Amino acid sequence: MMPMIPTPDAIPTSWGYFQFFLLLTFPLHLFFMNSLLGSTGVALYAHFKGDDESKGLAYELAKVIPLLVALTVNFGVAPLLFVQVLYGHLFYASSILMGLFWILIVPILLIAYYATYWYDFKFAALGRAGILVLGCGYLLFLLVGFFISNNMTMMLHPEGWSAYLETSSGTLLNSGDTTLWPRYLHSMVGATAIGGLFVALYGRFLARTKPGVGALATRVGLKLFMVLTLLQVAVGGWFLMALPRELMLLFMGRNSLATASFMVSLLLMLVALFAAWRQRVYLASAAGALLVVAMVFMRDFLRGGYLKEVFSMEMLQVVPEYSPLLFFLVTLVIGLILVVWMIRAALTRCET
């Protein structure tokens, strides 16, 4: 083990349980994060366009965006905790290296969250200025995404942590990593594309009471998905080519499961594009959701490939203590029940 890598902490039960819950909860977080970015992007477009129907769509999205922020943050807690359990000695080290930026995520999110509520509650009074308010929030969301991408890539490169010896100000960024920008753009472009499918689905819901606005939401959401997914092909290709050769080959046959995940992702992308082109919202959304899950598995294979020389799950020492896991399961079930109630309450508000 490299001298600068801390010793992993002991875990209370087998690492397989935590890996399972990480792969279970992370896609849930991504569904809401994608919906947030897609809804915000469409709301900005609709508000800028300015005709009555577009303004109606922007207003309807304004009512759900604050809820999506809350769901994104809350559903991000569980996977972040599981990452800390499994990779804590790496994650904490990279968080310290970029400590100033990592701490800034909290106030940045608070400001962005406030901007979405301001946009919602003062929609009519803001007028065209609403574009600036929501646009500020959107840019701040993208900034948070960059900081998270930076941390998640820095933890994979302990050989670069020695830079801390030259500057201990907590302002290090992983700018020397050639995969940082393609990885970040791959995440944000893909997230916004999948978010377009959420807007299309929401349009089907709105069509029951506001046919014109609902049809516009479905049309714009599907178009956003198709355009950004085609762009994602180029960005994803850039990301794949930027990977070290031995890691790229994981998805080209060297690792059968990683290759299968890659091939399934390509197939699901084609199915989702075809369904969106044919205006089949539910099929496109189902394929898009499965695509997110497949990409999560690819991400996990890539992380394992980066760390195989310095860390494996078998290094984690188990000190049996099952009560924290049981407590998590109970609170997870209660939390899901409350979230379902909250979503139903929000949809009821949107119908009024």
Long-range contact pairs involving 101-109 (C-beta distance under 8 Å, separation at least 24): 101/147, 101/150, 101/170, 101/171, 101/173, 102/147, 102/151, 102/170, 104/147, 105/144, 105/147, 105/148, 108/140, 108/143, 108/144, 109/69, 109/73, 109/140, 109/144
> What is the C-alpha to C-alpha distance for residues 329 and 277, in angstroms, rounded to an integer?
40
Q: Is residue 244 part of a domain?
A: yes
Q: At residue 323, does pLDDT exceed 90?
A: no
Q: Is residue 56 part of a domain?
A: yes
Give residue 1's pLDDT.
44
Give residue 336's pLDDT.
81
Segment 320-349 shows an average pLDDT of 81
Instruction: Give the range of the structural domain holding residue 208, as residue numbers without chain letter.
Output: 15-314+335-351
Q: Is residue 4 part of a domain?
A: no
Q: Is residue 287 part of a domain?
A: yes
Stretch among 2-6, 90-94, 138-142, 236-240 having the lowest mean pLDDT: 2-6
Q: Is residue 339 part of a domain?
A: yes
Q: At residue 347, does pLDDT exceed 80?
A: no
Identify the residue whose tokens are 């939401």: 217
pLDDT tens-digit series, residues 239-285: 999 999 999 999 999 999 999 999 999 999 999 999 999 999 999 99
Q: Which two tokens stand for residue 90?
A: 């790496």
Q: How far is CA 78 from CA 22, 52, 192, 288, in A?
A: 8, 41, 22, 22
Q: Is residue 239 part of a domain?
A: yes
* Between 347 and 302, residue with greater pLDDT: 302
Q: Is residue 152 part of a domain?
A: yes
Percent of the chain surpassing pLDDT 90: 77
pLDDT tens-digit series, residues 135-164: 999 999 999 999 999 999 999 999 888 877
Minimal CA–CA distance to 97: which of 197, 23, 9, 6?
6
Minimal CA–CA distance to 108: which of 155, 153, 159, 143?
143
**What is the maximum alpha-carbon separation in the chain?**
63
Q: Is residue 1 part of a domain?
A: no
Structural domains in the chain (count): 1
* Between 331 and 28, residue with greater pLDDT: 28
Give residue 9's pLDDT.
87
Segment 317-342 shows an average pLDDT of 84
pLDDT tens-digit series, residues 160-207: 888 777 777 888 898 889 999 999 999 999 999 999 999 999 999 999
Give residue 108's pLDDT.
97
pLDDT tens-digit series, residues 95-139: 999 999 999 999 999 999 999 999 999 999 999 999 999 999 999
For residue 258, how far is the Cα from the chain centroid? 20
Minimal CA–CA distance to 157: which of 314, 310, 313, 349?
310
Q: Which two tokens stand for residue 227?
A: 């355009």
Cα 91–93–98 angle (5° rounding)? 95
- What is the DSSP code (8-state) at residue 165? G
Q: How far is CA 29 from CA 42, 170, 205, 292, 306, in A?
A: 20, 27, 22, 11, 23
CATH of the domain at 155: 1.20.1630.10
DSSP result, 239-277 = HHHHS-HHHHGGGGTTSHHHHHHHHHHHHHHHHHHHHHH
pTM score, whole prediction: 0.91
- What is the DSSP code (8-state) at residue 11? B
> What is the C-alpha to C-alpha distance for residues 78 and 91, in angstroms, rounded to an integer?
15
Q: Give the chain's mean pLDDT.
A: 92
- At residue 351 the predicted structure's pLDDT band, cuts being 50, 70 and 90, is low
For residue 107, how far is the Cα from the chain centroid? 19
SS3 call for 313: helix
Identify the residue whose tokens are 């499994």: 86
